[in-house]
């Protein structure tokens, strides 16, 4: 996200919560311009010795970063089961992306984490147990978005619109039932997944790339629920720009 703001990257595929956390944080105004995922699944996995939610009390839990994205989802799930970070019921350990979080659990350094597909099946193969997923507390939580710095986007409008237009063509092709078998084969080969897992990935592809504003609002509400002050304020419109997507369509 820092690279996006400094111009190292032009476009990032990321969780919308990262847009909220970073827009205005170090000067750059960052906005979401399209929805790249739908039907996201965020399951909580625990180590084999954990048998009940109360067994996580006093334990170290793996997250990407302690103040963004899935860490907040994990906190919300745990809060529903009587465990509150503010009361010191557990500790969040920044382990990075999903793979490193699973590695941390495998080594016994942490005892729980959100492990989204395809790492969920790898977690089960390692003996970890699925306790719950985000849908019990955050049913509208959305998939990822394409994010850009407004400074870059305004000076490269044609490039961004052409990129989105090409991506939308790919989305339409992948969603065509006539191409389903070929798409699943491509995903399975590229991501080294089983056909079943690849089909699950395909199911998360958006139908048209339009942003789920109600879902994005739920992400903003979650961040403010835990007391995080947004540098750009709490108006959702500050973090989304529909113009580029509409132009691409």
Residue range 123-154, pLDDT digits in tens: 999 999 999 999 999 998 998 999 999 999 99
> pTM (2 decimals)?
0.84
Domains in the chain: ranges and CATH = 2-39+141-248 (3.40.190.10), 43-136 (3.40.190.10)
Task: Give the pair of three-digit tokens for residue 205.
Answer: 């592809």
Integer CA distances (angstroms), 118 to 13, 18, 19, 99, 208, in order: 17, 21, 24, 10, 23
pLDDT tens per residue, range 52-70: 999 999 999 999 989 888 8
């Amino acid at each position: 996200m820092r690279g996006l703001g400094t111009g190292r990257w032009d476009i990032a595929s990321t969780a919308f919560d990262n847009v909220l956390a970073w827009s205005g944080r170090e000067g750059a105004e960052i906005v979401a311009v399209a929805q790249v995922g739908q039907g996201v699944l965020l399951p909580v996995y625990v180590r084999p010795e954990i048998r009940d939610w109360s067994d996580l009390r006093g334990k170290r839990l793996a997250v990407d970063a302690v103040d963004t994205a899935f860490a907040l989802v994990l906190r919300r799930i745990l809060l529903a089961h009587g465990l509150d970070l503010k009361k010191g019921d557990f500790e969040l350990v920044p382990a990075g992306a999903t793979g490193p979080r699973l590695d941390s659990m495998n080594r016994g350094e942490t005892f729980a984490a959100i492990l989204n597909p395809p790492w969920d099946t790898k977690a089960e193969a390692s003996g970890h147990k699925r306790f719950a997923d985000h849908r019990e507390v955050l049913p509208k939580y959305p998939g990822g978005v394409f994010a850009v710095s407004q400074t870059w986007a305004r000076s490269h409008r044609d490039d961004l619109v052409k990129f989105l237009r090409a991506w939308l063509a790919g989305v339409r092709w992948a969603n065509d039932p006539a191409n389903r078998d070929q798409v699943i084969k491509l995903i399975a080969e590229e991501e080294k997944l089983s056909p079943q897992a690849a089909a699950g990935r395909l199911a998360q592809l958006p139908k048209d790339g339009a942003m789920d504003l109600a879902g994005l609002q739920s992400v903003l509400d979650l961040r403010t629920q835990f007391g995080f002050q947004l540098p750009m304020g709490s108006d959702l419109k500050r973090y989304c720009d529909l113009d580029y997507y509409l132009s691409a369509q």
